[in-house]
Structure 1
C-alpha cells in the first residue's frame, strides 16, 4: 500500500470555514475487554458511512491515532450543522445508546470529544514531500507559490492589511 507522495511544498486553501472534531476513547481497565470493545468496534462502521456519504453529510476527512490506552480521531467537517446532524443520525445514535447500555458510568472505558470551529483565513498548513494528509485530505491541496511561502503569508486573510505581511 504505497502512498502517493507529493514532492515539494504544498498547502491548503483557507477560504472556507471548517470544523475540526476530535473524538476518542481511553481504556482505563485493560482487562475489561467486554466494556471497552463495544466502544472501540462501533467506530469503523460510522467512519465507513461517513466516507460513503461524504457530500450529503458534510464530512471532509479523518485521521486516526492509536496509543497504548487512548485513541483519537481528527475529523474535518464543513460545518457544525453537518456534524450535529450526523450526531443525531441513526448510526451514531445506535452506537451511543449501545455505549450507555453496556458501559454507562462504568469506569473501565472513557470517551471524549472536542469541537473547534475555525473561520476562513485563520488556519494554515504546510506539507513537504508528504502524501495528502490532515487538512490536505479535507481541503484543496495546492502547491506553495511565492505569495504563500511563509505561514504569515498563508494567513494573510487573517490579518487586516497586506502591509502587515513582510
Structure 2
C-alpha cells in the first residue's frame, strides 16, 4: 500500500519542463454479451502500460487508471512526439492492437474507444492532493508540500494575486 502523505501537497511541475501531454484514453463496452469483441480491447491497455513502465525512455511519465463508470486511463507524457512515436512504432505494443481493433470491430458498434490529448503548459497547471499517496501528476513528477499563500486554486493557477481560499486550510 502506498504511503499516505499527510497534509496538503501539490505536484512539482517544474520537474516536467515547460509542457506536459495529458492523454485520456478509454473504452465503452456497448454490447456486454459480446465478450469476444471487447475482451481483447480491455486487456490490451494493461499490457501497453506494463511495457511503458519498463521502458521509461519511451516518454510516459505516469498514469492513473479507473474502471468505473467505464475503463479509462489518464496518462502523462513527456512530449507529443513521444506519444505519437509510441502509437505508430510497429515494435511497440500499440500498433498491432489498433490494427486488430480496426479489422475486427471497425464500425460494428460493439465496443467504443476514445481518446483526448491535451498539450498543457506546466505554468498553467494547478494541483492539490490532501492526505493522499502520490497520485496523478504528483506521481508523474513529485509531490511537494503546499506552501502558504497558495491555499486557493485561483492562487495556485495564477488566476488571482490574492489567496482567498473558500475554507481555512488544514
**TM band (smaller chain):** 0.7 to 0.9
**Could you give the per-residue CA deviations for residues 83-102 of structure 1, whole angstroms, max 9, x where no partner exists?**
11111123111111111222
Kindly indicate whether the alpha-carbon contact (under 8 Å) linking 1:14 and 1:122 is maintained by their aligned counterparts in 2: no
Return the offset for 1:153.
2.9
Distance 1:66 1:120 in 2: 27
Q: State the partner residue of 1:119.
A: 121
Return the offset for 1:147.
4.0
Alignment of 1:14 with 2:13, yes or no, is yes
TM-score w.r.t. length of structure 1: 0.88
State the aligned residue count: 157
Q: State the partner residue of 2:63.
A: 62
Unpaired runs of 5+ residues, structure 1, are none
Return the offset for 1:35.
0.7
Alignment of 1:1-166 (within 5 A): 2-15=1-14, 16-54=18-56, 56-67=57-68, 70-90=70-90, 91-156=93-158, 165-166=161-162
Kindly indicate whether the alpha-carbon contact (under 8 Å) linking 1:19 and 1:77 is maintained by their aligned counterparts in 2: yes
Distance 1:116 1:9 in 2: 26
Look up the SS of the partner of 1:3 in the other structure: coil
**Could you give the per-residue CA deviations for residues 7-63 of structure 1, whole angstroms, max 9, x where no partner exists?**
111001233311110101101001011111111111111010111112x11111111
CA-atom RMSD in angstroms: 1.5
Kindly indicate whether the alpha-carbon contact (under 8 Å) linking 2:59 and 2:79 is maintained by their aligned counterparts in 1: yes
Distance 1:126 1:60 in 2: 18
The runs of 4+ residues in structure 1 deviating greater than 3 Å are none
Greater CA drift, 37-46 or 147-156: 147-156
Look up the SS of the partner of 2:86 in the other structure: helix
